[in-house]
Amino acid sequence: MMHRQIMAGTFRHPSDSESRILSHVLRTRGVTQPEIAQASGLSQQTVSRLVNELATRGALLPGERRASGKRGQPSIEIAIAPNHAFSLGVALMTDAMSIALMDFAGNVVAYDHCEMPDMSRAAVFARIAVVKAQFLASTPAARERLVGVGIGISGYCLDGRSRFNPPGALEDWAMVPIDTLFSDALGLPAWVENDGNAAAIGESFLGAGRTFSNFVYVFLAAGIGGGVISDHRLMRGRHGNGGEIGLIVPRQVYPLPTLETLLHAVQARGVAVDGISAMLATFDPDWPGVDDWIDASRDALSLIASSIAALLDPDAIVLGGRMPRALARKIIPAIELFDDARRLEPRPLPKLLLSQTHVDACAIGAAMLPLEGAFYATML
């Protein structure tokens, strides 16, 4: 959730209609004004006026001309102006931290990943100060156009806003207002979500959400969680804990399908890796122990995916988080969506997909939080 919505003096807060246009252009890329009008329900005249206003403020750019095959002038494609605004995204993990600098078009223009044996506030903020200075030195355009910082953290939300109960390795961040701490330390507005929700938001704008308006993101890391996107909007739930899909699995019956249990499986078979980050840095899907983990995890993942399909009926279930893409490709065929297959036309089932965002799912999603909160605002 947002700490406080502060717009820098160089920015003007968009209207609801302007936000809808910006969101559609970001997701679609290469869209024309008639297509915006058709998708948004706004009149062509209104779209033309708002697009011109957004272009005047530097948020949109004219793109290529596209012939329609009909008489008249070709339509001009509209694009997001990348340098209009920037944001920082921070992913707080149990053993590492990732920081991303994102431009207004959703491009990661700078990225840092650091293994952190000490995830205390002092260590985290000291690292962020160094990395932020490096980012701004390499991307001078961001100096005066940094909207805010987004934080993604493992754990469940306690107050529907910014207090979380994370794993033990993140003890210094437990049950404290994380957004206020970041805002005070960095001098920026701050937004915070759990890692699954943050990644789902990033996927909605920059990944599967460009094709599907309804999907569930499965975030697999040291634990397992997720986020629910309905009509392009994050369903946070009453307390901010919508999408906690790991709680579907009775732990006394099934081993949790997490990277922690994967680490134990490959270590038990003699693979010399010390910690999740080290495992991911050199991951090989043919390591001994990987197939053992898939065999042990398929029932739990099938239960999770089938529960999602039955309860939410989404277009897609997206597997992501810190899961290596090579591992996701191996396990997707093993996941079963339970169905009674009645008659010759069974119920439609969601597609099982790999995440379409790259670099770092949580950091990307966290970096989208300030841009969404300030410009693209589509959260319920």
For 265-317, what is each residue's pLDDT tens digit? 999 999 999 999 999 999 999 999 999 999 999 999 999 999 999 999 999 99
Q: Is 118:172 a contact under the CB 8 Å cutoff?
A: no
| pLDDT confidence of residue 76 | 85
| pLDDT confidence of residue 345 | 81
Stretch 333-350: mean pLDDT, rounded?
Answer: 88
Regarding pTM above 0.85, the answer is yes
Domains and their CATH numbers in the chain: 16-83 (1.10.10.10), 85-201+361-376 (3.30.420.40), 211-354 (3.30.420.40)
- Secondary structure class of 259 (helix, strand, coil): helix
| pLDDT confidence of residue 380 | 35
For the chain, the farthest-separated pair of C-alpha atoms sits apart, in whole angstroms, at 69
